[in-house]
């Protein structure tokens, strides 16, 4: 590599720049689509529920290390047979932003607990105190 000619070095730099550029564009497009989907989801949720979600607290779970409990808002439900996909919405006060995650639950469990669209349901989260990041673990 160190014995490259100037021409080969320039070609290598151009190829690397193109690869990095394409990667950046792909990440940007995916991020933008994800943001639009979240905006569409939030548009279908009444304002009072969004405000209620903003004041939901994260409570450390005794003896569970960095796990905490909170409630997430059921933003969308898609049931197919014995599996129900649930799109949950949360609010991160440290970032002043909503975020969502999709999880699967057995339909019998979802229905058995009486959950439905726009319910606030208990969830277990992984909590990183240093960065204030809450990562969804499971519906409780």
- pLDDT tens digit string along 28-44? 666 665 556 788 888 88
- pLDDT tens digit string along 98-115? 888 888 999 999 999 999
User: What's the mean per-residue pLDDT of the chain?
Assistant: 81
- pLDDT tens digit string along 56-92? 877 777 765 677 788 889 998 988 989 999 989 988 7
In angstroms, what CA-CA distances link 114 with 37, 64, 94, 117?
26, 27, 31, 10
């Amino acid at each position: 590599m160190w014995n490259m000619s100037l021409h080969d070095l320039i070609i290598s730099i151009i190829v690397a720049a193109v690869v990095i550029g394409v990667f950046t564009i792909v990440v940007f497009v995916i991020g933008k689509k994800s943001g639009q989907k979240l905006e569409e989801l939030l548009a279908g949720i009444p304002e009072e529920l969004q405000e209620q979600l903003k004041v939901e607290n994260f409570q450390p779970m005794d003896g569970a290390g960095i796990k905490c409990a909170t409630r997430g808002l059921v933003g969308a439900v898609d049931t197919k047979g014995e599996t129900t996909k649930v799109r949950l919405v949360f609010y991160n006060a440290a970032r002043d932003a909503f975020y969502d995650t999709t999880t699967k639950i057995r339909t019998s469990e979802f229905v058995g607990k009486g959950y439905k669209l726009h319910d606030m349901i208990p969830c277990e989260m992984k909590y990183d105190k240093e960065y204030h990041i809450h990562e969804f673990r499971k519906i409780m």
